[in-house]
Structure 1
Amino acid sequence: MPLNERDRIEILMMIGVGDRMRTQQEVCRLFHEMHPDREPVSQSTVSRIERKYRELGHVRDAPRQGRPKINENVQQDVILSALENPHCTVRQVSRDLNIGKSSVSNIFKKVKYHPYRVRLIHELAEDDFDRRTEFCEYMMDHNNQNNGFIANILFSDEATFFLNGHVNRQNTRYWSQENPHWMQEYHTQHPQKVNVWAGINFKFHQPPLARYVNEELYAGVICIWHQASNCAPLEYLYKSSRSRVGSGKCATTQGRHYPTL
């Protein structure tokens, strides 16, 4: 147990003055007799307390230095770095201003700056907005006519993997006090890609596909699903989703074959 200031003064009194001084060994034994429930002090501790009193005239603890406070100029430099380049990283600011990364993070936190991540979105054509409204009106109309219509919808999702470079959301940020709703178009719907696709609806799920997805394969997946579940008429699907399905011609039971999945 560390000694407080009162313990050190008590040890000095045990040492004594003039002809009534005790040896360090005697002081250690006397301190232990007076405080049997505490950890015994060593002779080196007694010697250090006595030397400190002779040199400084007291046995108080030295004031703690602590970590130096960051001045206002440094804080302003950090904030200006974020304003001039909102995409900067903590490491870059730390290196440019020659201060610790934790200090940079603390300053950003103090001024309520947050590293917002980029949101990746698909490219939208000019007529996509009208087609989206048309599709919503169609779905609402059919759902009013048939309450079970929504249960026949296949909800699908896909992950795209590129062989060339693409946006890495983990390495992109935007420092700001408010969400800038930063978005970036990172690829189009053209079939120059490798997709992993999966779909699920009320009745069954379509296992994931991990291969090159082109117009023919995508159309085949939709046609197979249409046979397994009663859903929206394919005629409307081809009309409203022509750009995704491709040419709009899909294999049916009238003598054509589905693409090999």
Structure 2
Amino acid sequence: MRTPNNIEKVKRKLADSPHRSSRRLSRELQLSRKTVRKILVDDLILFSYKIQILQKQSTVQKEKRLTFAKLIAGKVEKNEINIGNIDWSDEAHFHFSRHVNKQNMRIWGEEKPDPLDNKPLTQEKVTVWCAVGSKRIIAPYFYENNEGSRVTVNGVQ
């Protein structure tokens, strides 16, 4: 039930730890999940936010990315680059150590928080790369060193 007492209990629990899920709050306070969700959304006017995991970047790195993006956009606009001839690539990192699953991680709050999980690039992980273009697909590629161990990609070779 959404009583003033239950609303206060939920508010206090979230003050201790805003990372608690509504399911966990429900279990800890012995309230139905529906009641907890109603209290969070309707009474406390809170929203569930996903944690965003960002690569740490210096101001110089951000400026270089912006400069490059503007350069390429200008070349596309002037038809100096044909987008149909570009292979679009991406990579995925599979972590071996503690890693936040952002699909399951939520923070309850009145406004969107700043990114909370900045991590260095040196975590132990495997990098898989693939590219797709208008004319071909380059199959997934696992990066390995000379000993056959999986490695990540960086500027030093």
Provide TM-score, normalisation by structure 2.
0.74
Identical columns (%) = 26
Per the alignment, residue 101 of structure 2 pairs with: 168
* Letter of the 1:201 counterpart: G
8 A contact 2:54–2:115 mirrored in 1: no
Rounded Cα–Cα distance in structure 2 between residues aligned with 1:114 and 1:213 = 43
User: Among residues 143, 147, 157, which one is paired with 1:212 in the alignment?
Assistant: 143
Answering whether residue 38 of structure 2 is matched by residue 102 of structure 1, we say: no
- Structure 1 position 113, deviation (Å): 2.4
How far does residue 195 in structure 1 lie from its aligned partner after superposition? 1.7
Deviation at 1:213, TM superposition (A): 5.2
| Distance in structure 2 (CA, Å) of the matches to 1:159 and 1:192 | 13
Structure 1 residue 160: Cα displacement: 0.9
Residues paired across the two proteins, number: 149
1:202 matched to 2:112: no
The answer to whether the Cα contact below 8 Å between 2:91 and 2:127 also exists between their aligned partners in 1 is: yes
The alpha carbon displacement at 1:117 in A equals 1.3
Counterpart for residue 159 of structure 1: 92
Partner AA of 1:246 in structure 2: V
CA radius of gyration, larger in? 1
Unaligned runs of 5+ in 2: 146-152
Find the aligned partners of 2:2 and 2:124 in 1 and give their Cα distance: 51
In structure 1, C-alpha distance between the alignment counterparts of 2:81 and 2:60, rounded to whole Å: 30
Name the stretch that deviates more: 130-139 or 97-106.
97-106
- 2:20 pairs, out of 82, 88, 92, with 88
Report which of the two has the higher share of strand.
2
Instruction: Say what the alpha-carbon RMSD is for the aligned residues.
Output: 2.8
- Aligned residue number for residue 184 of structure 1: 117
Whole-angstrom distance in 2 between the partners of 1:181 and 1:95: 28
How many Å apart are 1:92 and its aligned residue?
A: 3.5
More helix by share: 1
CA spacing shift, 1:246–1:187, aligned 2, 3 Å = same
Relative to structure 1, is the Cα distance of residues 107 and 213 closer, same or farther in structure 2, using a 3 angstrom cutoff? farther
Q: More relative contact order in 1 or in 2 (CA 8 Å, sep 6+)?
A: 2
Retained in 1: the 8 A contact 2:52–2:116? yes
1:90-146 deviation digits (Å, cap 9, x = unpaired): 243234434333321221132342321112222213421121122123313433443
Query: Within 5 A, what are the aligned runs for 1:127-166?
Result: 127-166=60-99
Runs of at least 5 residues in structure 1 that lack an aligned partner in the other structure = 1-68, 215-242, 248-261
Amino acid at match of 1:146: N
On the 8 A contact 1:117/1:182 being kept in 2, the answer is no
Deviation at 1:181, TM superposition (A): 5.1
The equivalent position to 1:114 in structure 2, one of 36, 47, 61, is 47
> Runs (4+) of structure 1 moved beyond 4 Å?
none
Structure 1 length as normaliser, TM-score?
Answer: 0.48
The change in CA–CA distance for 1:144 and 1:74 in structure 2 (over 3 A counts) is: closer
